Amino acid sequence: MDFPTANPPPYQQPPPSGFRVPLSTDAPLPSPEQLGRPVCLDADGHSPIYLGSAILANAVHPCKVAPHLRPPCRVPYGGGEHEHHGRYDLLPFDHATMEWVMTSHGQIPPGRRPVEGGYEEAGKLYHALALVNGVRVPGKTGHHLGACNVPFGGGEAVVRENYEILCWK
């Protein structure tokens, strides 16, 4: 969905977490056209990866959505890459209204408004993207994390410096 970038009226602005597509591991993924443009490719160099938010019992965590994996939703948590079963939301990346901004140590770049990806008891979580072994991987960041945590290779990679946070333009 494209929105004008020159201060649209409040009723046309996306919500802080963006326009989401509700999904479940019990149902098939939408078509590639409905998924939109992937934010990166997996380690194999050709499988698309999308942004998501996993709905947990007492939290919502930003995650990666990899249609070639079963289940496709993978959450970084507690040192591991966890398969998520159940409800999650897909966040289609909209180049017209969103952009990746470099940051480090869980900081929100000055003057920027990050796209909210979820929350946990310790605070808000935002969508982030880190480079791990030469592969761009979506995950989560937050001031309380002090880093970008991403699911990769069965574990949770923690990148403290020079990663990207998703912000509204």
pLDDT along the chain (169 residues), means of 10: 50 73 91 88 96 96 96 96 96 94 97 96 97 97 98 97 97
3 domain residue, yes or no: no
Give the chain's domain count: 1
Is residue 10 in some structural domain? no
Which structural domain, as residue segments, surrounds residue 30? 17-168
- Residue 76 domain flag: yes
> Hey, which residues does 126 pair with through a beta bridge?
116, 141
pLDDT computed for residue 1 by the predictor: 43
**Assigned domain for 71 exists:** yes
Within a domain: 1: no
pLDDT for position 36: 86
In-domain check, residue 75: yes
Residue 161 lies in a domain: yes
Alpha-carbon gap, residue 109 to 128, rounded angstroms: 13
For 31, the token pair is: 């078509």
The CA distance from 74 to 68, in Å, is 12
Any domain includes 12 = no
How far is it, in rounded angstroms, from Cα 105 to Cα 148? Answer: 8
